[in-house]
Structure 1
Amino acid sequence: MHRLNGVERVRDCLATLYGEVEDELLTFAPGGAQTAANARSSRPLAEVLLDRNVRLRTVCLDSARNDPATVAHTDRLAALGGRIRTVPSLPNRMIICDRRIAVVAVDSDDTAAGAVVLRTAGVVSSLYALFESVWQSAQPMGTTASHCLIPETPVRTGCRSPSPGGPELKRRSSWWTGTRSCSPGAPRTRWNHLSRLLHEVQAW
């Protein structure tokens, strides 16, 4: 277990994890409605991940349905292939990457205080099971909720069907080429890009 003190360190850590995630990113987002500016800023980050065929599943609060900006943002993400559901309440802010790493807020009432990074297989597996349990009872949100049915088994594709070699996908993903690594000596361009997006959107 590794503790990250303060929201800036959490965002830097998430930039690294988002750069390494290959299959799936799961999120408990209990923060409620998003501002219109926050929603606009977060869109490029979601597009970067979805362009790499990373499955995004997010659970947020039912109260988000009452905010037009949040609903519009959710519709756009759903159209891209992201999956969003809502529940009346959530235990804490949490992100799980590829069923291997979990980032959990140290204080559910003050997420800016920091987070803990968990890599122990048994712990991450338990948190994954918690997410799946909540996900199954949550209500779909977004314009594609009624017709975009994606299997629950691990896959690398979503509702989107872009051509693997299409020019648009290549253009939007070109900055990602190169060897992925979390090591200090790794190329910094990708990390800097994700870090900037996370800070712009005030993620976490």
Structure 2
Amino acid sequence: MSYDGAATSGKRRTSSEGGRVESQPLLDELAVDAYRSALRTGVFIDEEIAAELGEDRARIAEVREALQDLRLLSPGSGGAAVPLDPEVVEVELIAPLEMSVARQRRQIAGIHRQLNTLSTLYRSVERHHGADVSIRVLDNAAEVRREIDLARHRCVKERMSLQPGGGRSAPLLQQDLVQTQELLRRGVRVRTLYQHTARSSLTTRSYVAQICEAGAEVRTSAELSERLIVYDRHTAFVPKERKGSAPPGAAVVTDPTLVAYLCRSFETAWQVGRPFTSTEPADQQQVSAELRSSILRLMAMGLKDEVIARRLGMAARTCRRYISALMTELGATSRFQAGVLIGRQAVEGGTDGGPGGVPADEEIAVHK
């Protein structure tokens, strides 16, 4: 019998891929077979083990050294190494790890005790100074992030969010992936609504596939009014108007009436959304039809290409391709004429069933 690879050293190695940390095996198949052979004879002799397993003596010498490093063989040369009890090795390997875990648990408990005391003090002073109001406006993006982290940490039932603007950046999604998976592990229901144009982003599709596999629910809609995050139907985050490229601040809303209104608005948008991960042709056709209908309606309102693109979360160049295709189908030679034709169709009740859809190779082009 022939084997590939070498015996694994007694030192444990770990590798991280896709957020998972996996321990390498202590020994490979050849080392296990060699140890088994030594147990039958009561001694590990390189020449005999190599002959029995059909392996080169140099390879068996490497195996012996690996077994000796793990204290599964007595020290010494290849002439008379004796197999030792694996339970002793197990104790030697696990004991330091268990001590480390116990030490870290004590540190975590100490942090909880100290910070819980300070948190109680902070909340009492906050209430005393009247800071515990139903609407707080935070101008600093870092403060907003801290408040969102706190709300997420306290969340026990549900997080719902509206995420307009098409596909999102890879670093942002990677950070949110870890946080969302942590919520799902705690049994929190997670629902997110994107715009249809987010479907064209490979990064966003990969992120959605991972969180949906873990239990999240994601849908898309042609238009979304604003970004919104609500935790436990108790705390809502509404962004301030963006000015320039800097991240905007946000209003933290805890007023029950306002939060309930925001939740109803979310539910209304959620009910008409299309499942992000659906591969049904009917759903794909409906997404394309809704996007096309929104472009027609916004064109009829006289909005510029850039405004339409921003409303639908797509690149301006992509939006112009849509509009050019629609004008060709309408038989219009100008935006003005297109607006007249669209208005006429609306009066006749034919807006939704007007000209055919955008060609398939133009559907929902990449946001970035």
Q: Do the structures match in fold with TM over 0.5?
A: yes
Question: What band does the TM-score fall into relative to the shorter chain?
Answer: 0.5 to 0.7
**In 2: Cα distance, 1:88 partner to 1:16 partner:** 31
**Superposed CA offset, 1:105-157 (max 9, x none):** 12167782211011111111111100000000000112699xxxxxxxxxxxx
Is 1:17 paired with 2:151? yes
The separation in 1 between residues aligned to 2:143 and 2:174, in whole angstroms, is 23
User: What is the TM-score of this pair, normalised by structure 1?
Assistant: 0.66
Note if 1:120 corresponds to 2:255: yes
Amino acid at match of 2:182: V
Q: What's the TM-score once normalised by structure 2's chain length? A: 0.38
CA RMSD of aligned residues (A): 2.0
Of residues 52-61 and 35-44 in structure 1, the stretch that sits farther from structure 2 once superposed is 35-44
Closer/same/farther in 2, CA of residues 38 and 88 from structure 1, 3 Å limit = same
> Which ranges of structure 2 fall in alignment gaps of 5 or more residues?
1-134, 281-368
Cα distance between partner residues in 2 of 1:78 and 1:46:
10
Higher relative contact order (CA 8 A, sep 6+): 1
| Deviation at residue 39 of structure 1 after TM alignment | 2.6
Contact 1:96 1:102 in 2 (8 A): yes
**Who is 1:76 aligned against?**
210
Contact 1:107–1:113 under 8 Å retained in 2: yes
In the TM superposition, residue 6 of structure 1 has moved relative to its aligned partner by 2.3
Max radius of gyration: which structure? 2
Q: Following the alignment from structure 2 to structure 1, what is the Cα–Cα distance between the partners of residues 253 and 275?
A: 28
Rounded to whole Å, the distance in 2 between the matches of 1:118 and 1:6 is 16
What is the deviation of 1:101? 1.3
Rounded Cα–Cα distance in structure 1 between residues aligned with 2:145 and 2:171: 18
Query: Do the aligned partners of 1:75 and 1:143 also contact (CA within 8 Å) in 2?
Result: no
* CA pair 62-88 structure 1, distance change in 2 beyond 3 A: same
Aligned residue for 1:2, secondary structure, equals strand
Aligned to 1:33: 167
Post-superposition shift, 1:8?
Answer: 1.0
Mapped to 2, the partners of 1:108 and 1:31 lie a distance apart of 13
SS at match of 2:229: strand
SS at match of 1:26: strand
Task: Render the CA deviation track for 1:61-109: whole Å, top value 9, x for unaligned.
Answer: 1111011111111111100001111111111111111111111012167
The amino acid of 1:136's aligned partner reads Q
Q: Say if 1:131 and 1:78 are closer, same or farther in 2 by CA, change over 3 A.
A: same
Q: Match of 1:32, SS?
A: coil
- Rounded to whole Å, the distance in 2 between the matches of 1:136 and 1:79 is 21
**8 Å contact kept, 1:78–1:144:** no
Q: Which runs of 4+ in 1 moved over 4 A?
A: 108-111
Contact 2:242 2:248 in 1 (8 A): no
The equivalent of 1:155 in structure 2 is none
| Cα 1:102–1:41 shift into 2, 3 Å | closer
Q: Report the structure, 1 or 2, having the larger strand content.
A: 1
Separation (CA, whole Å) in 1 of partners of 2:164 and 2:242:
9
Cα distance in 1 between the residues matched to 2:143 and 2:186? 25
Gaps of 5+ in 1: 146-204
Specify the alignment match of 2:239 in structure 1.
105
Number of aligned positions between the proteins:
145
SS in 1 for 2:153: helix
Distance 2:169 2:233 in 1: 30
Q: 2:196 aligns with which of 29, 43, 62?
A: 62
Give the equivalent residue in structure 1 for 2:264: 129
Would the alpha carbon gap of residues 138 and 65 (structure 1) be closer, same or farther in structure 2, given more than 3 Å must change? same
Bigger helix fraction: 2
Q: d(CA) in 1 for partners of 2:186 and 2:234?
A: 18
- Rounded to whole Å, the distance in 2 between the matches of 1:75 and 1:32 is 16
